[in-house]
Amino acid sequence: MSSGTMRSLKKRVTARDHNTCYMCGREADDDEVLDLEHKRPISQGGSPDDMENLGLICQPCHDIKSKAEAAAANRLRRRRP
Ligand SMILES: [Zn+2]
C-alpha cells in the first residue's frame, strides 16, 4: 500500500473519529499527532485498508499496544521452539 493511500485513509479516519484515540477515547490536542493504527494487526489477519479495522491511536496507547503485541509474539515463539 502506498504512503499516499495511507495518508488519504488517515484523513478519512481522522474525520470519522474526530481525531480521537480509539483505545483511551481521548481527543488529541491541537499540536498532537495521532498514529493511524490497524486495530487487528495485518500479521494476524487484519485488513490493511478496511475502515472498520483502522483507528487513531495516541503515543502512550501505541507504546502499550506495541509492548503487548511483542509479549504475545514472544509467548508464541516460546511455545513453538
Ligand atoms: Zn490513547
Q: What is the pLDDT of residues 7-21, one digit of tens each?
A: 999 999 999 999 999
CA of 75 to the centre of ligand 1 (A): 25
Q: Which residues pair with 7 in a beta bridge?
A: none
Ligand 1 centre to CA of 23 (Å) is 5
Instruction: Return the H-helix or E-strand segment holding 6.
Output: helix 3-17
Question: Residues whose CB is under 5 A from ligand 1 (ion)?
Answer: 21, 23-24, 58, 61
Q: What is the pLDDT of residue 3?
A: 82
Residue 26 alpha carbon to ligand 1 centre in Å:
6
As a 3-state breakdown, the chain gives helix, strand, coil percent values, each rounded to 5, of 50, 15, 35
Ligand 1: centre distance to CA 80 (Å):
33
Q: What is the pLDDT of residue 80?
A: 60
Domain-by-domain residue ranges, the chain?
3-79
CATH topology for 3-79 is: His-Me finger endonuclease fold (3.40.1800)
Query: What distance in Å separates the CA atoms of residue 19 and residue 67, rounded to the nearest whole number?
Result: 23
Over residues 43-80, the pLDDT tens digits come to: 889 999 999 999 999 999 999 999 998 998 899 888 76
Sequence-ordered alpha helix ranges (H) in 18-58: none
